[in-house]
Amino acid sequence: MTPDLILAGAGLANALIALAVAEARPGARILMLDRAPSPSDAHTWSFHDPDLRLPWHRRLSPAIRCRWPGQEVRFPDHSRVLRAGYASLDGAGLARLLADTPGVTLRWNAGITALDATGATLGSERIEAPCVIDGRGARSSRHLVTGYQKFVGLEFEMNTPHGVTRPLIMDATVPQQDGYRFVYLLPFSPTRLLIEDTRYSDGATLDEEAIVCAIADYASDKGWTGREVRRERGVLPIALAHDAAALWAEAQGGPAPVGLRAGLFHPVTGYSLPVAAQVADVVAAAGPTTAEVFSAVCAHALDRAGDDRFLRLLNRMLFRGCPPDRRHRVLSRFYRLPEPLIERFYAGKLTRLDRLRIVSGKPPIPIRDALPCLREAPLLKETA
């Protein structure tokens, strides 16, 4: 079979592209290649309901593992229930959905050794297609300066009901360590609970055992005992400075990059599901060749990078203008803002007024510390 579209990598970005293209172009032959032996169970992808447009709620609904009608945040000085719904997908659900999507062929154990605008090489095998998209996950780039969101999550089957009724997306009442620290709880059933310990820190090193011990302490403080059934971990980029034009100029002539490798993620939360859904819509509406998809996704990415300038400034204030042990204050202040603004922040749709609102009033960090954070060019120069 000669495919119409090769998707290199069967991660989140390419999975959403496969779903959108299969729907927009019935009969299109979509080949997904991934080096992993099978779908990963080391991933839950969550999103806030307002992050996605209705067609995406419909498309993803068969892959949803759990949905909740609200969510909560807790800080030492206040806590708040947020009314926006929240939902989680997992790797197995997404793989089942792709298997049921006409036109999509997913090959596991398919490690790509070379990729270009016309095809993929897998050892001695060469597969060509008019359109090739590269979604092989994160890679470092001197055009993207980042801090890190590091986490380990343990899913437990508890011996008795844990009593958590809604996602606690930030419990920042915990001792602050290694930057801004919070615990994230997802109650999948009355006895099944994901406990994730996250740190917004300057370095990328993940001390998994130390974080696992911190999770055990947290569970023990709550009186929870149980058996670990699943584990996930991640070191996600938090964008401090980004020269998107240079990143895309470097990729010119090759396959169209998407997902984390194209810098397409929410600069502050590191979430990429809402952005991946938007990019999938862009790909589905573009022409059927690599060059057409490249230029459509590139234009979208450059627009986004311009819109995200403000979010990167917030990150620089958080990471460069604020001592690590005080970072939680900035977040605590943010979560006092009106809920529609918080929803637009997650969805990457802040208005001018929202931006003004976020930085107005008592500054989250002293002006003298904020001033050196204003420009992103010096950070990009440091890495050049």
Ligand X SMILES: Cc1cc2nc3c(=O)[nH]c(=O)nc-3n(C[C@H](O)[C@H](O)[C@H](O)COP(=O)(O)OP(=O)(O)OC[C@H]3O[C@@H](n4cnc5c(N)ncnc54)[C@H](O)[C@@H]3O)c2cc1C
In the complex, which residue's CB is closest to ligand X? 11
Distance CA 101, CA 80 (A): 40
Q: Interacting stretch for ligand X, rule CB under 6 A, among 129-137, 174-182, 344-352, 356-364?
A: 129-137
Distance CA 69, CA 49 (A): 9
Question: With contact defined as beta carbons under 8 Å apart, do 265 and 305 qualify?
Answer: no
* 137 binds ligand X, rule: CB under 6 A: yes
Question: Which one of 6, 22, 34, 141 is in contact with ligand X (CB under 6 A)?
Answer: 34
Report, in Å, the least distance between residue 33 CB and ligand X: 5
Report, in Å, the least distance between residue 299 CB and ligand X: 19
Distance CA 70, CA 186 (A): 12
Question: Which one of 59, 74, 136, 242 is in contact with ligand X (CB under 6 A)?
Answer: 136
Site string for ligand X, 44-63 (x = CB under 6 A): xxxx----------------
> How many Cα atoms occupy the beta-carbon half-sphere of 72 within 13 Å?
17
Binding residues for ligand X restricted to 193-232, rule: CB under 6 A: 232
Binding residues for ligand X restricted to 226-265, rule: CB under 6 A: 232, 234, 236, 259-260
Distance CA 146, CA 319 (A): 10
What single-letter DSSP state applies at residue 100? T
Structure tokens at 94: 């997404």
In the chain, % helix, strand, coil (3-state, to 5) comes to 40, 30, 35
Candidates 148, 130, 106; CA nearest to 287 is 130
Q: Interacting stretch for ligand X, rule CB under 6 A, among 31-39, 101-109, 247-255, 311-319?
A: 31-39
Q: Interacting stretch for ligand X, rule CB under 6 A, among 65-73, 108-116, 162-170, 211-219?
A: 108-116
Burial of 115 per CB tally in 10 Å (0-12, 13-18, 19+): buried
Q: Which is nearer to ligand X, 47 or 248 (CB)?
A: 47
Question: Which one of 35, 320, 326, 357 is in contact with ligand X (CB under 6 A)?
Answer: 35
Q: Interacting stretch for ligand X, rule CB under 6 A, among 107-115, 216-224, 241-249, 296-304?
A: 107-115
Binding site for ligand X (CB under 6 A): 8-14, 33-36, 43-47, 110-112, 135-137, 232, 234, 236, 259-260, 270-273
